[in-house]
Amino acid sequence: MKCPRHPKNEATGYCTVCGDLGCEECLHDHEGQRLCPRHYRPIARKLEEEKRHEDVRKRHPRQRMVVRYADGRCEYGVCFALSVKDTGFHLDLVDQNETPLAETKHVRFEDLKAVFLVKSFDGKFDKTASYKEWNPEGGELVVQFNDGEVVRGFSLRRYDPDELRFHLIPLDPTTNNVSILVERTAVAAVYTPDEYKAKRAQEKEAKKSTGPAADLSQEEGTGDFYFETRNYEAALEQYRLAQEKHPDLRRLKKKLLLAQYNVGIQHIKRHEYDKALALMETVLAADPHNSRVRRKVSKLRHIIKRKSDEARQS
């Protein structure tokens, strides 16, 4: 019997899915089955995709990452490839001893503070080993995060303030950090070294000129402690008490706004969108030029409206 697709060839079998006859040229063996071209096509596409992924893995070695979230959480893992243009990446979780946890997690950039590409998870890296070296094209920057942490380094590419995220290469190449992927939404400000130096000088001068009130009150000091431990709700309560004593102290107003913002972020994580919106709108009213907060307010209003529409339809 001749093959219906290749009339010059003898049929040597049939597709185990649809029963169509075929010759050696058109039937494909896969996991003990013989398949016609139509039923083998999706399998061929899948195999080709897996081959492409494997090629990517071979070109890009696994990179140790310390992933820090905007809400204070921290995870360790390795990743084959990370693109700053995507919405996130897949992280194979490990513990601090680099023992695999047999779990792969999809990490969304919008949830992060930064991703630290490191030489070791515990900071005790082999100083004789060779690690990936970067040749940064951008200038030196000082990055201040929303939680108050300050890091310095060189931007990998020419710094663009409109980028959603950017790589920062540490000033000191002998540290454990190879590079830092900074998430824009977690950043309070970015300075040049001269701008940051001038800012620090202004802060010192302002502290001197405000007299006794510049000293930390017990409430403000307690608020700072809670903020550093990421207990933002307790910090906010203490800052409000401190402001009752010193209503005109500028730094307290900034701390209040920052604490309110972080409490709002925590409400978002718990899907308490109404509470989050109320706080974000308060922050935006006090700081109307803050584009980061404006985006949060817009997104929260959209989410609340969508859920309201869904509730009416159900």
100-108 and 112-118 beta bridge pairing: unpaired
User: Tokens 């935006």, residue?
Assistant: 284
210-313: what CATH class? mainly alpha
Q: What is the pLDDT of residue 44?
A: 92
Domain boundaries, the chain: 13-58, 63-191, 210-313
Burial of 1 from C-beta contacts in 10 A (0-12 / 13-18 / 19+): exposed
State the Cα–Cα distance between residues 198 and 254, nearest whole angstrom: 19
| Residue 244, phi then psi, degrees to nearest 5 | -60, -30
Record the pTM.
Answer: 0.50
What pLDDT shows up at residue 260? 94
Spatial contact of 78 and 64, defined as CB atoms under 8 Å apart:
yes
**Would you give per-residue pLDDT tens digits along the chain (314 residues)?**
889 889 899 988 989 999 999 999 989 999 889 999 999 999 999 988 877 766 654 554 578 899 999 999 999 999 877 888 899 999 999 988 888 999 999 999 999 999 999 998 888 888 777 777 778 889 999 999 998 899 999 999 999 988 999 999 998 888 899 999 999 999 999 999 999 998 888 877 766 655 444 568 888 988 888 888 889 999 999 999 999 988 888 888 999 999 999 999 999 999 999 999 999 999 999 998 888 899 999 999 999 999 888 888 87
CA distances, 47 to each of 17, 30, 43 (Å)? 19, 11, 6
* Cα–chain center distance at 183: 6
Token pair of 264, please?
């709002």
- Quick one: pLDDT at residue 121? 87
Long-range interactions of 252-260: CB distance < 8 A, separation 24+: 252/220, 253/286, 255/220, 255/223, 255/224, 255/227, 257/283, 257/286, 257/287, 258/146, 258/148, 258/188, 258/227, 259/223, 259/227, 259/232, 259/235, 260/236
